[in-house]
Amino acid sequence: MLNLSKILKFTELLNKFRQVQRRVLVNGEDRYENDTEHSYQLAMLALYIVNSQKLDLNHELILKYALIHDLVEVYAGDTYIYSTDTKEINSKEEREKKAMRQLKREFPEFPELHKIIKDYETKINKESRFIYSLDKIQPILNVYTDNGKTFKQEGVTLQMLIDCKKDKVAVSPEVKIYFDELIKLLKKEEKTLFKKQ
């Protein structure tokens, strides 16, 4: 039986999720987005693309993966893809596994949550690969619509972006077509979107 104390505990988890800051500035603001904002936007983008393109993907699974994919970051923290801290980069997988175990201990009554996280991490199906891939281009879309502000502030170059993203995006052909288009657009506007090196 689910009682109020368990609901309150899960609410606390969701509030902690909202406190996890990412390294992408919110459009038009001088603050970084948080994991809740990121996950909601990812879910809406996914639903928009899947519906508009009439893709043969399970809508319910798409939404679940999008909303849950980063929940481990409550305990593992967000790992900045362009970080020069090799210890942070190299410990990401272990920190996230540890976080998954902690979530299982704290919320054993929610087995679907744990299955969704595991399936996403293993990229078990086309829906998980779609969300994984879309998650890699979503920050680019946000930074582009903010005139490259985060790229400039963080010193990200177009080549860094391509090197970090291209293989990850490639796991979903449905998303890769947009990535390829986006790279062409970024190359065309490189001088205005990125800092001069």
Q: Does the pTM exceed 0.85?
A: yes
Q: How far apart are CA 55 and CA 174, in angstroms?
A: 8
User: For the domain that residue 77 is a member of, what is the CATH number?
Assistant: 1.10.3210.10
Beta bridge partners of residue 21, listed in sequence order: 34
**12-32, pLDDT tens digit by residue?**
999 999 999 999 999 999 999
Identify the domain containing residue 160 by its residue range.
4-193
Instruction: For tokens 């929940």, name the residue.
Output: 71
CB-based burial, 116-133: b 16+ in 10 Å, e otherwise:
bbebbbebeebbbbbbbb
Listed in order, strand segments (DSSP E) in the chain are 21-25, 32-34
Predicted local distance difference test score (pLDDT) of residue 171:
98
Of 71, 75, 74, the closest CA to residue 110 belongs to 71
Q: How many domains does the chain have?
A: 1
Q: What is the pLDDT along the chain (197 residues), one digit of tens a residue?
A: 889 999 999 999 999 999 999 999 999 999 999 999 999 999 999 999 999 999 999 999 999 999 999 999 999 999 998 988 899 889 999 999 999 999 999 999 999 999 999 999 999 999 999 999 999 999 999 999 999 999 999 999 999 999 999 999 999 999 999 999 999 999 999 999 998 76
